[in-house]
Structure 1
Amino acid sequence: MTRHDHPPRHDRTRDPKPGPLSRPTRIDRLRKEGSEVIVTATPAECLALAADFKIPAIRDLVGRFRVAGPSSRLIVTGTVTALVTQTCTVSLDPFEAPVSEPAEVVFTDTDILAGTDAEEVDVPDPIVGNTIDFGTLTAEFLALGLDPYPRKPGIAFTPVIEDAEPGPFDPLGQPPGRQD
């Protein structure tokens, strides 16, 4: 699975407790074709997500989604954007960076999934209780967009090479005719 593949599924059937960003939307309230759903996180939700993701800050978090297809198989596409503060893995300085992560998820009715072994095939996410939580979807794709090894712009990693004492085989690595 690459970074832009489907995010890990949050099993909403076993853990009904929503995360810090939740916008459950009943699919029967969406227009049949081309509905748009926009999730704008509040400052408190951004603070809670930053704590969950163990980063200093998140702001301006917005998920923009377009929903298409029949209610038995909905295709959700869009983009999640935010400005995040991460800690540089080289200098340990905090710095801000924009995140823009494309999203594409297929949802299907849980009745269709009955009898399907989700471990054997890549089945769509389930529509549970006729609802899709676009807040959770926004948080999942923000997590995918975070750089796991953030580096502040202009910071380069320079390995420290200590002078080692000469070893007994060092003369073997030197060109012929050169003796140190």
Structure 2
Amino acid sequence: MAKELEPEFTFILHPSELEDVETKYELTAESDERSALSKRFGLTAIESFNLIFKIKPLRRENAIRLRGKLYASVVQNCIVSLIPIKNTIQEEFEIVFREENHIDRAVCEDVDDFEPFFEDTIDLGEIGASELALAIDQYPRAPGISDDVMKPYLRKQDDLKSKPFGGLAALKRKK
């Protein structure tokens, strides 16, 4: 039986309990949560991780608008030298949620501008973790590491122009 995954950082919001006014939530990940998230994202460490959410029900649209700000300090290794680098991340994001059973599939089939939520539950911690994952530099480089260091490992421009199946064509001609 597969082990059920537990979220590393969680804060459950129940949309049915929201007032009609904008509500503010501030979350800070504790040391053990940051450690688990750094392991999940392949980072050396997450030194700080803070979120600010402003949430407002949109009753006419039968939706909930979430505006968020993410502040994090992460340590990750340079992809060239493997030297640990500290990066500061500040991101803003906005998500519109609709309850799964209120989504009109005929109208919304091709619309990508909302996220569904289920059973009156939105996990703000997991939303923040997902946004952090998107904001992390996938190819971090230490200061002073230039493209010249990578030149011996890069393909030459002539190699890029060659056809990928050129070798197969040569074999076919030999028959």
Give TM-score, length-normalised by structure 2: 0.75
TM-superposed CA distance for 1:69, in Å, is 3.0
Match of 1:38 in 2: 26
Q: Distance in 1 between matches of 2:123 and 2:22?
A: 17
* CA gap 1:115/1:38 in 2 versus in 1, 3 angstroms: same
State the SS of the aligned residue for 1:69. strand
Match of 1:19 in 2: 7
Match of 1:134 in 2: 124
TM-superposed CA distance for 1:31, in Å, is 2.9
Post-superposition Cα deviations, 1:78-100, rounded to whole Å, max 9, x if no partner, equal: 21111000111121111111011
* Alignment check: 8 A CA contact 1:60 1:83 kept: yes
* CA gap 1:88/1:118 in 2 versus in 1, 3 angstroms: farther
TM-superposed CA distance for 1:40, in Å, is 0.9
Post-superposition Cα deviations, 1:37-67, rounded to whole Å, max 9, x if no partner, equal: 1121111010000100011111210111111
Match of 1:85 in 2: 75
The unaligned stretches of length 5 or more in structure 2 are 153-175
TM-superposed CA distance for 1:117, in Å, is 9.0
* Alignment check: 8 A CA contact 1:26 1:131 kept: yes
Q: Distance in 2 between matches of 1:82 and 1:112?
A: 35
Q: Distance in 2 between matches of 1:129 and 1:38?
A: 23
- Higher fraction of helix: 2
1:58 is aligned to 2:60: no
* Alignment check: 8 A CA contact 1:25 1:131 kept: yes
State the SS of the aligned residue for 2:147. coil
Q: Output aligned runs, 1:1-180, within 5 Å.
A: 18-70=6-58, 72-113=62-103, 115=105, 120-122=110-112, 124-158=114-148, 159-160=150-151
TM-superposed CA distance for 1:27, in Å, is 1.5
Post-superposition Cα deviations, 1:121-168, rounded to whole Å, max 9, x if no partner, equal: 31521121112110001101101110011112333231445xxxxxxx
